[in-house]
Amino acid sequence: MSGNRTFTMVKPEAVENSDSGAILAKIEEAGFRIVAMKKLHLSAERAGKFYEVHNERPFYGELVEYMSSGPIVAVVLEKSNAVADFRTLIGATDPSEAADGTIRKLFAESKAKNAVHGSDSDENAAIEASFFFAELEQF
Ligand code: UDP
Ligand code: MG
Interval 42-100: pLDDT, tens: 999 999 999 999 999 999 999 999 999 999 999 999 999 999 999 999 999 999 999 99
Domain that holds residue 89: 5-41+72-137
Q: Which residues are catalytic?
A: 117
2 has a pLDDT exceeding 70: no
Are 7 and 129 contacting, i.e. CB atoms less than 8 angstroms apart? yes
**What is the domain count for the chain?**
1
Testing ligand 1's pocket by substitution, the residue of 8, 9, 57, 59 carrying the most ligand atoms inside 8 A of its CB is: 59
Residue 11 located in a structural domain: yes
pLDDT 10s digits, 109-135:
999 999 999 999 999 999 999 999 999
Report yes or no on 58 lying in a domain. no
Residue 56 inside a domain? The answer is no
- DSSP notation for the chain: -GGGEEEEEE-HHHHHTT-HHHHHHHHHHTTPEEEEEEEE---HHHHHHHTGGGTTSTTHHHHHHHHTSS-EEEEEEE-TTHHHHHHHHH--SSGGGSPTTSHHHHH--SSSS-SEEE-SSHHHHHHHHHHH--GGG--
Ligand nearest to the CA of 63: 1
Of all ligands present, the nearest one to the C-alpha of 9 is: 1
Would 36 be classed as within a structural domain? yes
Indicate whether 116 belongs to any domain: yes
Nearest CA to ligand 1 atom 18: 93
Task: Tell whether 131 is covered by a domain.
Answer: yes
